[in-house]
Amino acid sequence: MRPPNILVILSDEHTAAAAGWAGHPHVRTPNLDRLAAQGVAFDRAYTNSPMCVPSRLSLLSGRYVHQIGAWDNGVIPGPAYRTWGHHLRDAGYTSVIAGRTHFNGPNRLLGFDRRLTDDLDFWIDHSGRPPRRTADWRRPTNSHVTEQGTGDHVHTQHDVTATDAALEFLRDPGADPFLLYVGYMHPHFPLVAPPEFRALYNTADVDVPIVDDHQHPVISLLRHGFRNDEPLTEEQIREATVCYWALISHLDHQIGRLLDAVPEDTVVIYTSDHGEMAGQHGIWQKQCFYEPAVRIPLLLRHPSLQPGRSTAHVSLVDVLPTLRDVAGLAPDAALPGHTLLDAQDRPVLSEYHAQGMVDGGFMLKSGSWKYCYYGAGHAPQVFHVDDDPLELNDLSGEHALVQRLDAELRLLLDPDATDARAKSDQAARLARG
């Protein structure tokens, strides 16, 4: 029997809570709400790295960041790197890309058969240089939050062009089953929103986050590095927030155009590479393990699935096993993930090895518990997320609990050895110039 066509939609920086189906009181996502009603919404889905390139290389390969050396945004995938396109070719699929992928280097296919549109040029790194991971590193400006308002930004143009190209493909996709990946820039900063979508929102609806002055030293350094410790006016915070909401609504509009163009028997997956802190804990962007940065939207429509919600802990490494399952391929024992057609609640691993953190960061989400390990020289963080959703009560003083969670993390990897390997790889790339 012919396997089904597959549409995978990936946004950039969409935090899980900022959507209508997720219960947000203001963010308007009618098309994603429609998709959620037709399929399964995974309420505990996580990224495997709160950083663009590492997350996406993990997603496309179905392997953890430390397994493929995808430490930072400068990594260029090598010839041994295998993606969805390589895997599904064995099932007779034609694999096609439109839009944002944010992988680096001259190979713009990475195992896919066709690319309809590419990333914006300034997002493609051909140097392979790693970031500077020192305590005195600072982002040049805090434009990721202060560049805000209305306008026709190049990111918006990119997303419309990607949709247009995908729709053109869908009009005549050919005889083979297809995997169509459509990648969007929105709602990634800068927070410059199309006027008609900005007009949907009122700054009076924004709840301004309260920032605790007594923060973990690793978080304080991260905030300093990304200039999140520079004061913002309440007006700037409110405007940045509604512009973020508006970018999500523009993204939703593009997704609606795609959903209108594919039959109901098309398998559809929607997710994002990571979230956005949007001022929580005084942080804009991601690069940390608080829920707004690491918990992501994940929707799956498949004819065999009853619509509903899943509370199973899943992550982006589960997408490739799902695609293989949909295509009729046997499970690949080399992949750490599990098909979402039979979602299993398992501990989730996320890693960060880039600027803002001198030493590597590792997150284990296991049941209600979150354990953040920052190296032997730093105290960890521990949160009971169900009882403490804003992650304000650090329970790392409970030593027996820390020992148990640390042992569970080390079943997945050796964090200290992994940190040493990441730093060694980054030093070697820097030496190569």
d(CA 61, CA 321): 10
**Does some domain include residue 54?**
yes
**Does some domain include residue 28?**
yes
First to last CA, the chain: 51
The strands making up 348-352's β-sheet, listed across from edge to edge, are 348-352, 361-366, 369-373, 381-384
**Does some domain include residue 368?**
no
Number of structural domains, the chain?
1
pLDDT of 140 = 95
**Does some domain include residue 363?**
no
d(CA 84, CA 90): 10
**Does some domain include residue 302?**
yes
pLDDT of 212 = 82
Question: Taking the model in full, what pTM does it have?
Answer: 0.97
pLDDT of 1 = 80
**Does some domain include residue 156?**
yes
pLDDT of 415 = 98
d(CA 322, CA 30): 25
Cβ proximity of 405 and 371 under 8 Å: yes
**Among 433, 412, 404, 351, residue whose Cα is nearest residue 72:** 351
pLDDT of 30 = 98
CATH number for the domain that contains residue 205: 3.40.720.10
**Does some domain include residue 398?**
no
- The range of the structural domain enclosing residue 328 comes to 6-346
pLDDT of 235 = 97
pLDDT of 57 = 98
Which residue ranges in the chain fall short of pLDDT 70? none
Structure tokens at 143: 């434009």
Write out pLDDT tens, residues 255-291.
999 999 999 999 999 999 999 999 999 999 999 999 9
pLDDT of 233 = 97
**Does some domain include residue 169?**
yes
Count CA atoms within 13 Å of residue 281 on its CB side.
28
Give the SS3 label for residue 329: coil
pLDDT of 213 = 78
Cβ neighbour number for residue 107 with a 10 Å cutoff:
13
